Amino acid sequence: MVNKMEREKIDENIDFQVLNAIADLVRVLDYNEKVVFVNKAMEDLLGYDPEKKVCILGEDLFDPEITKRALVSGEVIQREENIGGMVFSVKCSPIINKKGEILGVVEVFRNVTMARKLQKELIDKNRFMTNETNAASLIQRKVLPDKGFIKNLKVNYLYKPSTILSGDMFDVFQIDDDHIGMYIADSVGHGFAASMVTMFIKSMVRTLDKTSQRSPRETLTELCERFTGLKLEIENYFTCFYGVYNLKKKTFTFSNAGHLPLPLMVRNRESMSLESRGYPISRFFAKPDYEEKEIKLHTGDYLLFMTDGVEEARNAKKEVFGHEKILDIISEYNSDILEYINKELEEFTDSPQVDDISMLIVSVW
């Protein structure tokens, strides 16, 4: 039987009427770990035997060691209990009188079953999304062109997404025996939507008929028509520079859909920007007019394509890497240009990468 004096000491320090009005489950135990009070919420949910002073449901599931620890140390202890298929967050707080003596403990049980269920669902969904994102990233990398030779063109590149998924895409592919197509594109953003736009570009360019593929103007026009036909939000857009190398004539024909920085044609360490008029591919520009230009390429020339993450990279002082540094590197080195640019870039930026970085170099041999 509970010691009457112990009960009176607890009564002096606890307002049982207030505890009975609390929606959470509450019980009070004396120093001998005997239950001296169960509020109405606990009684209604778990049942209560007033003679034995125990809960009918779940009494054996309560962890007595936690209660003992709180009685001995006087510390407030938080734990979780599984009772009758429900999850409760339990806060065990010692009852201390004015003399600092521990008289018992108050345990408050908050039903967190739904919260834990939602938490698990969120964790499962995050795990699923992470797996899907990693798979999408792997696919993005797998569809990049092979490094090495296509006919007399040597392909090399650097691909550094700022996050798992990238908004950059580039490709070099053989159209027919006499023509090789190449492009670089930059979709707004860095997330899942931007990555899907890059896959759209890759798929569309590769599946156009060869007549369109041989004409940069027609290729970009067709890309624009098909992309705007998707009726995506106005903020979804991309830039794209597309060119075709003619193996017989040694010419490079190109058009630009608003892509910056402009690709460079480099000959004997001197560079020329490949300028061509044209707006980005977006619903905002439904019927763009792409200008088509042509230059002659010689053995030893190379084309350098980049996305804006290269020139717009910033250091701790918020200074941009800039176009001039690219030109300085080109004028100083005759080979391994990508490696030198990347080295300079890494030395310049001492903060986390915030934009996708892609560089493609196509050399004439």
Residue 227 has a pLDDT of 93
Residue whose token pair is 């953003």: 189
H helices of the chain, where? 4-13, 16-20, 40-46, 64-73, 113-142, 192-207, 210-213, 216-228, 308-311, 323-332, 337-348
Work out the angle between the directed axes of helices 113-142 and 192-207 (0-180°, nearest 10): 30
pTM for the predicted model, two decimal places:
0.73
Q: Which two tokens stand for residue 119?
A: 């938490």
User: What DSSP line would sit under 195-241, residue for residue?
Assistant: HHHHHHHHHHHHHS-HHHHT-HHHHHHHHHHHHHTT---TT--EEEE
Residue 1 has a pLDDT of 33
Say whether 164 sits in a helix, a strand or coil: coil
Per-residue pLDDT 10s for the chain (365 aa) are: 344 455 557 776 677 888 888 899 998 888 888 888 889 898 888 777 766 655 655 555 567 788 888 888 889 999 888 887 889 999 999 998 888 889 999 999 999 999 999 998 999 998 988 888 888 889 899 999 999 999 999 999 999 998 888 999 999 999 999 999 999 999 987 778 888 999 999 999 999 999 999 999 999 999 999 999 888 888 889 999 999 999 999 999 999 999 999 999 999 999 999 999 999 998 887 678 899 999 999 999 999 999 999 999 998 888 999 999 999 999 999 889 999 999 999 999 877 788 899 999 999 99
- Dist CA 242 CA 144 (whole Å): 16
- Dist CA 154 CA 299 (whole Å): 11
Backbone angles phi, psi at 57, to 5 degrees: -105, 125
For residue 162, the 8-state DSSP code is S
Residue 2 has a pLDDT of 40
Say whether 3 sits in a helix, a strand or coil: coil
